[in-house]
Amino acid sequence: MKKILVPTDFSPNAARAIDYAVRIARLNQATICIIHVCDHLYPFTMESISKEGYNQKITDDALENLDMIRKSIEETEKVAVSTQLYSGTVVDTIPGAAGEHSADLVIMGTLGITGIRDEIFGTNTAKVISNSTVPVLAIPLEYDWSTPSRLLLAINHFDEVNDILDPVFDLAKVFKAEVRLAVFTDEDNAAAADFLVDEKEVKQAEEKLREKYTGLVINAEHLSGHHFEESINEYIDSNKIDILSMTTHKRSLLGSIFNRSLTRKMSYHSKVPILSIPVK
């Protein structure tokens, strides 16, 4: 994770995302690109100001704010930072910007400048998670920084234990954190045989990951319950999990419980950062 893209709307939660990126960059000698997306609108309530004048003002203000952030980070944290201003919508712009800058990771806040949960920047973050081909780390507003010591990787398909999970273990290496692999079985839909198969495959996955990612502490567990969100959140609370990682699939709900909609929903309500890994 050498290139990190951080979109900002200059809200407190976006500032937390920037702070998180800076901490990773300091530990990993990474570079950061901070972007702002201007959605130019006509100021209907400000008839004395032309559309062009209004757009120019919000552009100038954004550029000034970006430059202030860049200078502050480079001077105090000694981290290389670049900035760029885009015009358009957040959801359409960020995935393209991640590709343009060859980003390894996108870090975003989950609550925007309006302060309205599940709306505006929060909704945008969830939509970016759905559309991104790059891993996205979503930072909740309530999250207070502490060096992560334990990451939870929640999967439902053992064929996912492959190279697509590299970002999870790359992040674990940065923080020298333990990785917990959790496989969830829905008690309402699973047969008794499913539990036995899952237990066996959990151990096989644990061994496979330990062989591949040497030097990391990796432990696998089998979780079961009636509701995924409830089971995962209880596990997070009782095991002091610092980051939850999930894969996102372009599949229907019938095909997998770990689809883009579920990861989006978790991004709204999780108390810890969520790292979403896109499955192509």
Alpha carbons 129 and 260: distance in angstroms, whole number: 8
Q: Domain 3-139, what architecture?
A: 3-Layer(aba) Sandwich (3.40)
Q: Tell me the three state secondary structure of residue 105.
A: strand
Q: Sheet harboring 178-186: ordered strands across?
A: 81-87, 31-38, 3-7, 105-109, 136-139, 274-278, 243-248, 150-155, 178-186, 218-225
Region(s) of the chain under CATH 3.40.50.620: 3-139, 150-278
Q: Which tens digits make up the pLDDT trace of 64-74? A: 999 999 999 99
The confidence score (pLDDT) of residue 57 equals: 86
Residues 6+ apart with CB under 8 A from 230: none
Q: Which tens digits make up the pLDDT trace of 100-147? A: 999 999 999 986 444 444 444 456 887 888 889 999 999 988 788 899
Alpha carbons 184 and 230: distance in angstroms, whole number: 11
Closest CA to 148 of 18, 27, 32, 262: 27
Q: What CATH topology corresponds to 150-278?
A: Rossmann fold (3.40.50)
Q: Which tens digits make up the pLDDT trace of 22-31? A: 999 999 999 9
The confidence score (pLDDT) of residue 266 equals: 56
What's this model's pTM, rounded to 2 decimal places? 0.85
The confidence score (pLDDT) of residue 72 equals: 97
Q: Which tens digits make up the pLDDT trace of 190-228? A: 554 455 556 788 888 899 999 999 999 999 988 877 777
The confidence score (pLDDT) of residue 112 equals: 47
The confidence score (pLDDT) of residue 204 equals: 87
